[in-house]
Chains A and B, each alone.
Chain A
Amino acid sequence: MKILSINDLNNLRKRAQQALALREESSDQQSEQCCGLATGAEHLQVLCCGGTGCKASYSHKIVDNLKAAVEENDIADKVDVITTGCFGFCEKGPIVKIMPDNTFYTQVKPEDAAEIVKEHIIGGRRVERLLYVDPKTQKTVSDSKHMDFYRKQMRIALRNCGLIDPENIEEYIARDGYQGIANALLNQTPEEVIEIIKASGLRGRGGAGFPTGMKWGFARGYDADEKYVVCNADEGDPGAFMDRSIMEGDPNSVIEAMTVCGYCINSHKGLIYIRAEYPLAVNRLKIAIQQAREYGLLGKKILGTDFDFDIEIRYGAGAFVCGEETALIHSMEGKRGEPTLKPPFPAEAGYNMKPTNVNNVETLANVPIILTKGADWFASIGTEKSKGTKVFALAGKINNVGLIEVPMGTTLREIIYDIGGGVKNGKEFKAVQTGGPSGGCLTQKHLDTPIDYEHLAASGSMMGSGGMIVMDEDDCMVSVAKFYLEFTVDESCGKCTPCRIGNKRLLEILTRITQGRGTMADLETLKTLSEVIKDTALCGLGQTSPNPVLSTINNFWDEYVEHVQYHKCRAKQCKDLVTYSIDPAKCKGCTACARKCPVSAITGEARNPHSINPDKCIRCGMCISTCRFDAISIS
């Protein structure tokens, strides 16, 4: 059905809200009582995470099995099974949530579906073994609001992820979706909308943090027969997956925001540049675009006004540099994704040399809610210069891996220890890497730093897209720097010399150091070369690529010196600097390690202590993970 007026939209919203009522009403209460059909519940909804991470653990089969069990018990009219976007708590996925009692089941397997339906949905008894156990109290927690992981979060960009069915536009409309664009088209001039975005203080979430309202204003300032709104969904930062989750869980928010942007800058064509490696996100976007067209929210005469806007999807093909806006534009034109010098900025001459406005997915996801709740509301969240929230992909050596959203200004300590549940296996926290290959490391001393654009930059890192990788005492910081340089060298487009050759030299020096062949002069060269690359590279990729080197040198100078002067790697990660040995007192001679050793470096008689031949040993670590007596050590 076509929505032709604000009345139509409001009627539809009212109707759709009824379907969502079960989820909305109960979202703030903790219910002691478990609801089941036998205990008086009339209607239940089962939400199952359909994000990429949970799908890898067969969440789609859980949905199939749940639906089958519902059918089998003849209760399909009373129970809805809904696939939603990501809940964020990936560590405990797949997640199944029952409404209205808010029960949050974790690590569900397809074979658990029948039991959930029989016990909980029909019987009204929680399946205790699938509940989350608080690691601190060892007690089960049945609903997400009362888990440490969620307590300090504030979900704005992720507001609909894990709540609505991303393949049903009506559920988005029920959550005030398309109200922002409707109000803008009917009651506001483009200038007024740009002023609201400016006043909200929203800044680009892709990394650099440029004020979004200003960017829109620039693009509005150029006149042309055609203009373009581009959504940068080329999320290439390894370990960051917030853009993907938003597109998978709430694609309509991106579409609405692009339409708003189109109205503001007087453009009628939107392009989403997305990684081909994200098939699920692509599919959800396609469905959402199709539905938006059917409902008259994209296409000609949107909402009965004279405004036309439509969106097309363009595919990336795996090149990190295409996250840079000029490179992205060249890639959309069918060329190699090489950046060009700015100016001219895309606002003046972008896609096909026409004025173009490029925005990141997470930035866009904030726009509709700013328009409905107001600039003041948004500006009241966060710090002085960084407003709103930021989504982080928390991963690495941390207990609660997942996607989190916190107000700007939250400290690293709160993120790692309260939300993240601390470092895995009780190890000591060493560093957290933010901003991916363009960012740097934050250490113990930064734990109480409020996280926003300014503080991160002052600490020698950057916001980046929001990847946050936690490292513990077993991670060698020289190796980490080397890891990122390998990535940059791989991904450098090769156009400018500092990036193409400079980074390669940095990597060679780092490799030498991890092999114990570095010199103190190498450390000085690392520093100066890094500075030169930062100052002279053409685009953002090259200008930030030495950050991991500089920040590890600044924060972990001792470790670099140990590698060079004492040929020692304290994290025991650099293979050339360690030897494996077996403690004869602990070894029982079970022969398990000798059988597992891929190069037959371990010898010994059964029931007698074994030994490792260091010349043959390739330090693969297989023996350590095999040994049940903790007899093998690295020195």
Chain B
Amino acid sequence: MKKQEIKLACTVVKQVEEICDKHGNKPGELINVLHECQHLHGYLPEEMQRIIARKLGVPASKVYGVVTFYSFFTMTPKGKHPISVCLGTACYVRGSERLLEEIKRILNIEVGETTPDGKFSLDCLRCVGACGLAPVVMVGEHVYGRLDAKDIRKILDEVAAEE
């Protein structure tokens, strides 16, 4: 692992430790602990994983292994407006790849990246279950459905203007 850059605030460290305690510091609770920590902090930096490893008494490599295995966990901070393009089959056959291309082009980022200003981050997901609205894109909690590539610019402008 590369050198640690982020220093967690004392309060966050304490909260992480409390989460581990709440789950009895049992190694079997690792995934539940990670869920709560990510919910708390938005992402799971290396430093946090080391704290969890120490508390649960498992090697840091094991925590890292679990974090990187599951797509729900992330080690990079998300943008203020996380964008998820559905690449489920129903959306795919109704053209979601085009939406993805257009978002990448406009924001100039790749999947898994965040814009330099921290406003948007881009991810793909497999099926939100709103297949009736295919193709769909989620921005934050909101689902935009029945989209065409030409709608993308407008949505991004709207979201960016919300602040």
Contacts and interface: CB of A to CB of B under 8 A. Distances in A.
Interface of A: 52-53, 56-57, 90-93, 236-241, 244-245, 276-278, 314-320, 331-337, 352, 393, 395-397, 401-402, 433, 436, 467, 469, 471, 475, 480, 483-484, 487, 493, 596, 598, 620-622, 625-626
A401 B30 contact: no
Q: Do most interface residues of chain B lie in helix, strand or loop, or is the interface mixed? A: helix
Given A334-B31, A621-B149, A622-B149, A239 B131 contact: yes
Interface stretch (B14-22, B98-106, B113-121, B154-162): B98-106
Contact of B136 (A56, A93, A433): A56
Given A236-B126, A316-B72, A334-B66, 9 more contacts: A56-B142, A56-B143, A90-B132, A244-B129, A277-B72, A337-B70, A396-B89, A401-B134, A622-B149
Contacts of B132: 53, 90-93, 395, 401-402
Contacts of B73: 317
Contact of A53 (B72, B130, B142): B130
User: Size class of B's contact patch?
Assistant: 35 or more
Given A483-B89, A620-B102, A276 B72 contact: yes
A334 B29 contact: yes
Contact of A596 (B94, B129, B150): B150
A319 B72 CA distance: 8
Contacts of A397: 93-94
A598 B152 CA distance: 12
16 contacts: A53-B131, A90-B131, A239-B88, A334-B28, A334-B30, A335-B66, A393-B90, A397-B93, A397-B94, A401-B131, A433-B89, A467-B89, A469-B93, A493-B69, A620-B102, A621-B149
Nearest to A486: B87
B131 A620 contact: no
A70 to B, nearest CB: 27
A484 B88 CA distance: 10
B32 A315 contact: yes
B107 interface: no
Nearest to A494: B69
Given A317-B31, A596-B150, A620-B98, A238 B126 contact: yes
Contacts of B102: 598, 620, 622
Contacts, number: 139
A225 B148 CA distance: 57
B127 interface: yes
B35 interface: yes
Nearest to B95: A621
B88 A52 contact: no
| Among B94, B131, B133, B143: residue with most chain A CB under 10 A | B131
A317 B98 contact: no
Contacts of B143: 56
Contacts of A237: 127
B150 A625 contact: yes
A391 B87 CA distance: 22
B76 to A, nearest CB: 16
| Among B35, B89, B129, B132: residue with most chain A CB under 10 A | B129
B131 A56 contact: no
Nearest to A89: B132
B11 interface: no
A436 B105 CA distance: 30
B43 interface: no
A319 B67 CA distance: 11
